[in-house]
Amino acid sequence: MEDVISHNTWLHRIARVGVRPLVGTRVTPNHLTTARLACGLAAAGAFAAGTDGWTLAGAAIFVLAMLLDRADGELARLSGTTSPGGHLYDLLADGLSNAAAFIGIGIGLSQAGGAFGPIALPLGIIAGLAAAFAEILVIRMDALGIQPTRELGGVRGFDPDDAMMIVPVAVAVGLGGPLLVAAAVGGPGVLAFFTWKAMQGRGGN
């Protein structure tokens, strides 16, 4: 998600270094957004496999997807090719990737069994739907000129969007179950916050 807090977080800085050589080439920001979406969906598929090896692979691919999420906006700014359409595509790719990741984790845990097995898929679906609908609301708020995550602030080179880095870390260390519980509980809360902000913005227009 771009243009909500700062373009100087650690992930943005890393992405900026990586995309600088691409300025002036045929590679466009939308190419990177497409790669981000492909990596996000690939990570979800790896999570869904449910084995330790595939889960670790999914975590690594998800990190790459997050870097690409920052990279498309960085390339757009460096090359002077920012556009509303590109920003919308970026947001849609975010929503699909994040939703798929939670559902993939739920599928994987349900196949692996264990304490979270019976409830993993429902939790993943709840968390995934909350992530998707939150992104839809962000798109709506963009249209209203509202940037709610700016109000949450950032600290020490991180912003609220970077919270998704918890996903690959949690699954890599075997905490996918607690992650889904937290996301299934907290996701609807974030969705409620965005809904409230959207209603406030609509009332002010």
User: What is the C-alpha separation between 128 and 189, in angstroms, rounded?
Assistant: 13
Identify the pLDDT of residue 148. Answer: 55
Cβ–Cβ < 8 Å for 30, 86: yes
pLDDT in tens, 29-40: 999 999 999 999
User: Does any domain span residue 1?
Assistant: no
pLDDT in tens, 103-127: 999 999 998 877 888 999 999 999 9
For the chain, counts of helices (H) and of strands (E): 7, 0
User: Does any domain span residue 44?
Assistant: yes
User: Does any domain span residue 2?
Assistant: no
The token pair at 98 is: 């994040």
User: Does any domain span residue 4?
Assistant: no
User: Does any domain span residue 57?
Assistant: yes
User: Does any domain span residue 103?
Assistant: yes
Q: Which contiguous run of DSSP H or E holds residue 137?
A: helix 117-144
pTM over 0.85: yes
Q: Which long-range contacts (CB under 8 A, 24 or more apart) does 51-58 make?
A: 51/112, 54/108, 55/108, 55/171, 55/172, 55/176, 56/172, 58/104, 58/168, 58/171
Q: Give the domain extent around 57.
A: 10-203
Which 3 state secondary structure label does DSSP give 200? helix
Position 135 confidence tier, pLDDT thresholds 50, 70, 90: confident
Residue 127 has, within 13 A of its CA and on its CB side, a CA count of 29
Identify the pLDDT of residue 6. Answer: 52
The residues with which 158 forms a beta bridge, in sequence order, are: 155
Cβ–Cβ < 8 Å for 74, 15: yes
- Reply yes or no on whether the pLDDT at 133 is more than 70: yes
User: Does any domain span residue 58?
Assistant: yes
Position 1 confidence tier, pLDDT thresholds 50, 70, 90: very low
Torsion of CA 29, 30, 36, 38, to 10 degrees: -150
CA-based diameter of the chain, in Å? 52
**CATH code of the domain in which 128 resides:** 1.20.120.1760
pLDDT in tens, 81-99: 999 999 999 999 999 999 9
**How many domains are contained in the chain?**
1
